[in-house]
Amino acid sequence: MPQITRSAAIADDHTVIRRSADDPEAFGAIFDRHASTVHRYLARRAGPTLADDLTAEVFLAAFRARGRYDLTQPDALPWLYGIAANLLRGHQRSETRQYRALARTGVDPALDGPADLVSERVTAAAHVRALAAVLARLSVREREVLTLVGQAQLSYPEVARALDIPVGTVRSRLHSARQRIRRALADFPELDLTNGADA
Amino acid sequence: MNDLDLMAGFRAGVAPPVPGALDAARDRLMSEAAGPDRRRGRLRFRHLAPVAAAVAAVVTVSSLLLRPSAPGTPSAEAAAVLRLAAAGARGAPALAARPDQFVYIHSIQGGATFHFDTANGVETFTPPVERERWDWSSVDGTRGAHIRQKSLEPGKDEPGADWEQAFPPCTTDRVTDCDSDVGYPRDLPTDAAAMRERLYGTPRGDNPADQGAFTTIGDIMRSHYVTPDAAAAMFEAAATIPGVTLVPGAVDTAGRQGVAVSRLERGSRRELIFEEGTYRYLGEREVATADHPAAPEGAVISYRVQLEVAIVDRTKQLP
């Protein structure tokens, strides 16, 4: 029988999560791998301040639910995105208020840095304001699919896994969200949004 | 440039976490992970012989996989309907399909709209509007998908309810906005025990295992061609899921009469519907229960009736 050589590669997420059932602190590796990615998604939807708190909540919720993790999935990120999206449902007012503020004033509260950087804020282009206005009007279900595909860059099956919905539902919600964006941005022909994937 | 590129750039310049923010989050996690009593036990554990550690790891895996299910069994009436449906499907010939063909599914469906008013925090419910839908999906998942939808109540429906879109195949493993769903899964178990394991093994987020298993049946039937033997295994497996009951009386869905088995979830009950008399699979419904946050009790939240499933050569081709 050939000698089995231990791989020096870092253990996949599912291996870490399996291990964490017995050694809870091993779960720290999941945080170290994915916290800044999850924070970035949260910040792009709800602003960096809320994202700081929610990042901690995402990983606490994930830690408590780790016994239900599907151990056939080596990448925990879609699962974490799903938990993040779920937590954001409790902060819809804050999220949409920031989209509306950007649409109205051209200044994006989610891009605010620390106070001393305020003077460097740039006013958003007109089409970005129009986009923000659409984002404020989307249903939370549409916004989840749109941001997971467009911002988090998940594939359809990953979004389906993250949100616990069938792939067909991902397609429908994404279609509907994209259609709303294209309708709202029809006044900006210079964007040339015709080059999409639609037949 | 398309609208998804626009989304990719939207807030791409968001600030990274302020220094210390992630450290604080990690501390919260790790203090929970350490637990009040665990630290001592874990340290001692690490000094045990490697063999003991390996045994402990094995025990852990099985305890993670074998989650306890909710107490209770399906009702006898529900189990009887599901077994009749299984008997009707079992042994029927499966549709032949080449990998380069497409699964065609023609259906009528409706879904309620929920609008969350951010000004007052109130969620409002608008009942479903009926739509006709055609789905084409690649038999082996390598040729993309196509959806066409047409409103059957254009006066009541929202603008843009009629639409059609091609979903391109995935050419690399990390391309977004592409589709790799397999329309004709060949690996579905055809015996009840293996199917039950499969239904319970599908990831369902945070949902309880029994609910996840039941929901997965509708999900699989909705967007795939399921061979008669796999469908039979699915209905036989459903007859073993705790909490499944028969819905009293006949259920009318888009004008079709059926008998339904259902399972309670939070806020609603999910139903699988079978044709009266033949027990052929008709479709599904979701009906609000008293604890639904926005829809009145008894209101239909969504439904779907499967009219035809066939194999065709190209997207947009009718059988």
Splitting chain A (199 residues) into consecutive groups of 10 residues, what average pLDDT does each group show? 39 86 89 93 93 93 87 90 92 90 86 50 78 92 95 90 88 91 85 56
The verdict on residue B70 lying in a domain is no
Residue A17 domain-assigned (yes or no): yes
List of residues 6+ apart from A199 with CB closer than 8 A: B146, B164, B165, B166
CB distance from B66 to chain A under 8 Å? Answer: no
Tokens of B219: 């999900």
Alpha-carbon span B271 to B261, nearest angstrom: 5
What pLDDT score does B14 carry? 86
Instruction: Give me the domain span that covers residue A147.
Output: 13-191
Query: Quick one: which H or E segment has residue B241?
Result: none
Residues B22 and B121 in one domain: no
Contact list, A140 vs chain B (CB under 8 Å):
116
- Note whether B291 and B216 are same-domain residues: yes
Residue B27 domain boundaries = 17-65
Asked if the Cβ–Cβ distance from A24 to B201 is below 8 Å, we say: no
Q: Are residues B93 and B56 in the same domain?
A: no
Q: For position B292, what pLDDT does the model report?
A: 83
Q: Are residues B199 and B237 in contact, defined by beta-carbon separation less than 8 angstroms? A: yes
| Separation in Å, CA of A56 to nearest CA in chain B | 4
Cβ distance B116 to A92 less than 8 Å, yes or no, reads: yes
Same domain assignment for residues B193 and B270: yes
> Do residue B33 and residue A63 have CB atoms under 8 angstroms apart?
yes
Inter-chain CB proximity A150 and B7 less than 8 Å: yes
Indicate whether A3 belongs to any domain: no
For residue A117, give the chain B residue with the closest CA.
Answer: B15
Q: How far is the C-alpha of B288 from the C-alpha of A165, rounded, in Å?
A: 18
The secondary structure of chain B as a DSSP string is --HHHHHHHTTTTPPPPPTTHHHHHHHHHHHHHHTTTHHHHHHHHHTS-HHHHHHHHHHHHHHHHSPPPPS----HHHHHHHHHHHHHHTTPPPPP--TTSEEEEEEEEEEEEEEEETTTTEEEEEEEEEEEEEEEEESSSSS-EEEEEEES-TTTSPTT-SEEEEEPBPSSTT-SS-B---SS-S---SSHHHHHHHHHHS--TTS-HHHHHHHHHHHHHHHS---HHHHHHHHHHHTTSTT-EEPSS-EEETTEEEEEEEEE-SSEEEEEEEETTT--EEEEEEEE-TT-SSSPTT-EEEEEEEEEEEEESSTT---
Same domain, B184 and B54: no
CB neighbourhood size of A34 (10 A)? 21
Cβ contact (<8 Å) for B175 and A155? yes
Q: Is position B129 within any domain?
A: yes
Residue B65 contacts by C-beta under 8 Å, 6 or more apart in sequence?
Answer: A71
Residues B94 and B216 in one domain: yes
- Does B21 touch chain A if contact means CB atoms closer than 8 Å? yes
B68 touches chain A (CB under 8 A): no
The total number of structural domains in chain A stands at 1
pLDDT on residue A167: 86
User: How many distinct structural domains can be found in chain B?
Assistant: 2
Q: Is residue A181 part of a domain?
A: yes
Q: Is residue B276 part of a domain?
A: yes
Query: Which amino acid is it at A185?
Result: L
In this structure, the answer to whether residues B258 and B148 fall within a common structural domain is: yes
Interface contact B22-A63, CB threshold 8 A = no
State the Cα–Cα distance between residues A90 and B242, nearest whole angstrom: 31
Query: How does B275-312 read in b/e, with b if 16+ C-beta sit within 10 Å?
Result: beeebebbbbbbbbeeebebbeeebbbebbbbeebebb
Give which of B5, B11, B23, B175 to mutate to test A binding, by max A Cβ within 10 Å: B11
A chain contacts of residue B163, beta-carbon cutoff 8 Å: 175, 179
Give a yes or no: residue A8 inside a domain: no
Q: Do B165 and B82 sit in the same domain of this protein?
A: yes
| ipTM tops 0.90 | no
Grouping H, G, I as helix, E, B as strand and the rest as coil, residue B111 is strand
If asked whether residues B171 and B56 sit together in one domain, one would say no
Block residue for tokens 């063909």:
B101
DSSP B16-40: PPPTTHHHHHHHHHHHHHHTTTHHH
Helix (H, G, I), strand (E, B) or coil at B256: strand
Residue in A15, A36, A42, A59 to test binding to B, most B beta-carbons within 10 Å: A59
Enumerate residues 227 to 286 of chain B having a beta carbon within 8 A of any beta carbon in chain A. Answer: none
Q: What is the pLDDT of residue B178?
A: 59
Annotate A42-98 with DSSP letters as a single string.
HHHHH-HHHHHHHHHHHHHHHHHTGGGS-TT-S--HHHHHHHHHHHHGGGHHHHHHH
Dihedral angle, C-alpha B286, B290, B292, B296, nearest 10 °: 80
Place of tokens 């819809």: A92
One domain, residues B206 and B259: yes
Q: Please report the pLDDT score of residue A27 as a whole number.
A: 93
State whether A67 and B15 contact (CB < 8 Å). Answer: no
Q: Best interface-test mutation with A: which of B1, B5, B10, B30 has the largest number of A CBs within 10 A?
A: B10
What pLDDT is stored for residue A55 in this prediction? Answer: 95
Within a domain: B8: no
Low-confidence ranges of chain B (pLDDT < 50): 37-71, 173-176
A197 within a domain of the structure (yes/no): no
Please tell me if residue B166 touches chain A, with a CB cutoff of 8 Å: yes
pLDDT for position B73: 72
Going by C-alpha positions, the residue among B188, B189, B228, B224 that lies closest to residue B93 is B228
Do the domain assignments include residue B285? yes
Q: Are residues B36 and B119 in the same domain?
A: no
Both B263 and B186 in a single domain? yes
Taking phi over 0 as left and psi of -120 to 50 as alpha, with beta for the rest, B185 belongs to beta
Q: Are B308 and B289 in contact (CB under 8 A)?
A: no
Question: Which pLDDT belongs to residue A5?
Answer: 35
| Interface with chain A: mutation pick from B64, B67, B304, highest number of A CBs within 10 Å | B64
Longest dimension (CA), chain B: 73
What are B235-244's pLDDT values in tens digits? 999 999 999 9
Q: For residues A113 and B15, is the Cβ–Cβ distance under 8 A?
A: yes
